[in-house]
Amino acid sequence: MTTFRYDAAILERFPAVTGGVILATGLRNGPTPEPLRAAYLEEQRATLARIGETPLSQLPTLAAWRGAFRRFGVDPTQCRSAAEALLRRLTKKGDIPSINALVDLGNLVSIRYALPVAVFDTRSLAGPLAVRFATGEERYTPLGQPDVTEHPAAGEVVFADDAGLVFAERWCWRQSDQSAARDDTAAVVISVEAQHEGARPEIEAALADLLALLERYAGGHTISAVLDVRRSELADN
């Protein structure tokens, strides 16, 4: 059984957080199919046109994430949310490289809504994946550095399991090496999250887009829900 949840202390400190969550199994991943690649490139062009000359810090979705980062003691100009990092790459470089089907479909939705989307491979998951405050004793392995072990700062927000393995540090800043979606990934937890007030319609739309893309390009079995202060957990029973 796979479970995703928001810890009660997180919901108390960040009552506006809204997360669209998908638990998926039996997926097929691999190099991005040409139709998905074309859709991803078109979304990048549309996003650049939509943003225009607007500073990323003025986009309401990203501004809300900057505020959340500050509230748990992280400078958002040094550690940008995943969505802001993607859009910063896009606006400065003109494109975002293709990784694989699961990563690309997540990034497509992320830039469309300017919201962080995480695709977590669950093969290393021990118990529920929780969004919670770190104690500082958890273990984090940076992406691409499998022999390195770091520890999050106490009080920062992490995605972590019951064994203390961190799947992403500083909430939605950077995923771990163990959680990255690879070509043979078959089971994932996907989250798309917002911190701004009134975010539920956008989260619902982003969640619907993710589910449609998964069905077309990865198959498998999915369950999904929108989580917030009223419902904090999703489990695949």
- Kindly report, residue by residue over 129-166, the tens digit of the pLDDT: 999 999 999 999 999 999 999 999 999 999 999 999 99
- Cα separation, 83 vs 118, in Å, equals 10
pTM comes to 0.97
Mean pLDDT (whole number) for 62-80: 95
Residue 177 contacts residue 187 (beta carbons within 8 Å): no
Asked if the model's pLDDT at residue 187 lies above 90, the reply is: yes
End-to-end CA distance of the chain: 6
Asked if the model's pLDDT at residue 223 lies above 90, the reply is: yes
Handedness of CA 131, 171, 223, 60 (dihedral sign): positive
How do the domains of the chain map onto residue ranges?
2-228
List phi, psi (to 5°) of 211: -65, -40
Average pLDDT, the chain: 97
Handedness of CA 149, 136, 196, 206 (dihedral sign): positive
- Cα separation, 76 vs 57, in Å, equals 10
- Cα separation, 167 vs 126, in Å, equals 11
* Assigned architecture for domain 2-228: 3-Layer(bba) Sandwich (3.50)
Would you place residue 237 in the very low, low, confident or very high pLDDT band (cuts 50, 70, 90)? confident
